[in-house]
Structure 1
Amino acid sequence: MLERETQSADTTPEQACPPTGLDAVNQQLAAAYPELSPQLKLAAGYVLEHPVEIAFQSIRKSAGAARVTSSTLVRLAKRLGFDSYEQFREVFQSAVQAGPVELSGRASDLRNLASQTDDQVFLDVGDAAFDNIGRLFTADNQARVRDAAMMLLAAEKIAVVGFRDTFACAYHFAYVGRIAMPNVQLIRGQEGGLLTELAPFGEHDVVVAFGFEPYCAETVRALEIARAAGIKPIVITDTLRSPLVPGAAITFTVANATPHFFPSILSAITLIEVLLAECVAYGPDSLVDNVASFESRMREMGAYVSNE
């Protein structure tokens, strides 16, 4: 049953001009989310998590799925400066229709080709993996990756944070990143050492933070310390409603759905590869020299086994 509306739901003033693209809509909703009324939070949460449904469902169906009334969705649209819900929905329709579908389509083809088998878990994991990657490679993310790479290249030092389920992401970013950029440091936060490890970082530095639901208290705390010190955060998370988002200079939301019992980190790892590739491609020649020097040192120390 729909929750009843509260009288305070409309206390926030509407915007003068509506955002012109889905990315701008999402960013403004994420920024406003902590201050929204409970009903508008339900509506905003559904909008952030279900762009395809918003694009093609009726307002009544979307409202029912979000557990609000249709008028709440209208108020949310007007809060962002849209004249009507239909104008708001057109942004989602344009973005969804223009989005890449090739990889997700391949996953659907894979399932259709193997529909006669009974190994559904194998197929479902593959389906989710293709879909997650397909959602990463959008025009909005392409521009955001370039901006993030420029921010990383301009930083004096780069801290990398991720705990529990995203520690593998943080470790991978730090290990691979340090090959080209020696100013990358993994923050481990062991034995209450978060403050000590982050103390050398300041306003000329960047922190890259990873976190999926359930969000780790240590990651949230690390970002609080970073923001207080003027460190610019780049956040990789699963939704714009994540507690890691407020105060972020750049936010990436990556899909992590999977039939597996643990959140998938495939998209996050792929994003790391894209970010670091952009850094090397558009950074100074010294980054390429660093990679060559690392490889030479590893070979000299016997780190690799010959395949001859």
Structure 2
Amino acid sequence: MVRKNDAGEGSSSFLEMRSRIVARYPELSPQFQSIAQFALSNPEAMATETVVQLAGRVGAPPSSLVRFAQSLGYTGFAEMKRGFRDHLVFLVKTKNDSQGAPQGEGPADALRRLALEAQRDIEVLNRDFDATAFERAVNSLAGVTSIFVTAQHLSYPFASLFAWSLLEKGQECILLDNVGGFALRQSQLAGPKDATVSISFSPYQPSVVEEARAHRARGGTVIAITDTPLSPLAPHANEVLIVPGMAVGSTGSLAGALCLIRSLASAVAAIRGGNAGDSDRRGRKRRPNGGERRNG
């Protein structure tokens, strides 16, 4: 996501390079697509390892990485690598800024270390934040009839948070929690005037991708929250919101994802006009004789 505010020269270089990779991705050969997926999922490796080392990791000859860079319009691999190095410099700076965390093994020490990691994750998200894509996603969700949200495994708590953030503001949100294996059948209730918020990070969940694909094919709106622009969710989404560093095995604190998802739900609820009074009224159903009863 290209941030639409002051990101600095290094950030602009990295984000411009990422945008170029995403734009050219559909026309790349299968081998180059594999290299592109690796590059955007492992930017630190791209910044620090040699072309021979990287070639071994992607299962391609070193010359393929050079040709990959040239296919994107760079003179060679070294020029493309500069964008990854700019990104790494920023990550190292934010990590150094958060140095000084206790090195002990006590519970409080662990909490302080995680708090500093959370601060760093939010700084990275803020630097790469695409305000335009975020605003489009908010406006799209604010204008639909019903909002569905789907996620599994690590991503499921984020879906739950999104649903609760809308419900507490009096706004309907249908959480596809897959209790009893009903999620895919429930997702079929989403029509052309509805939206699905699909949340998945590597390794991606096939059921979440399938729900997004099927709803988009029915003419619905799909907002994807994922970890790379080349996520399998991206081709099926109207808008893609990126949270970096969320792949399984990463050391991220999840703070960036929590911040983005909570903010998205709050912004949508504000436009849709949710408040506590609406929630109270939605909690009452009218009896056939004209009376009202509260949901128990």
TM-score (norm 2): 0.71
When the two chains are superposed, the root-mean-square deviation of aligned CA atoms in Å is: 3.8
Gaps of at least 5 residues in structure 1 are 1-18, 299-308
Aligned with 2:23 (options 28, 42, 55): 28
Deviations 1:235-270 (A, max 9, x none): 122344433333222223322368899x85433222
Distance in 2 (alpha carbons) for counterparts of 1:73 and 1:259: 25
Distance in 1 (alpha carbons) for counterparts of 2:87 and 2:209: 31
Distance in 2 (alpha carbons) for counterparts of 1:196 and 1:62: 42
Q: Match for residue 48 of structure 1?
A: 40
SS of equivalent residue, structure 1 residue 242 = coil
Q: Match for residue 12 of structure 1?
A: none
Gaps of at least 5 residues in structure 2 are 1-13, 284-296
How far off its partner does 1:49 sit? 2.0
Q: Match for residue 292 of structure 2?
A: none
Kindly indicate whether the alpha-carbon contact (under 8 Å) linking 2:17 and 2:80 is maintained by their aligned counterparts in 1.
no
Q: Match for residue 70 of structure 2?
A: 78
List aligned pairs for 1:18-167, cutoff 5 A: 21-28=16-23, 31-32=25-26, 36-38=29-31, 40-55=32-47, 59-60=51-52, 62-64=54-56, 66-93=58-85, 104-110=95-101, 114-115=102-103, 117-119=104-106, 122=110, 125-126=114-115, 128-167=117-156
TM-score (norm 1): 0.68
Deviations 1:3-50 (A, max 9, x none): xxxxxxxxxxxxxxxx98144135336x539x7434x34422331123
How far off its partner does 1:206 sit? 1.8
Distance in 1 (alpha carbons) for counterparts of 2:59 and 2:116: 29
Distance in 2 (alpha carbons) for counterparts of 1:85 and 1:55: 11
Q: Match for residue 240 of structure 2?
A: 251
The structure-2 alpha-carbon separation of the partners of 1:96 and 1:214, relative to structure 1 and needing over 3 Å to count, comes to closer
Which of 243-252 and 160-169 deviates more?
Answer: 243-252
Aligned residues, how many?
267
Matched, 1:190 2:185: no
How far off its partner does 1:234 sit? 1.4
Distance in 2 (alpha carbons) for counterparts of 1:102 and 1:279: 34
SS of equivalent residue, structure 2 residue 266 = helix
Percent identity reads: 22
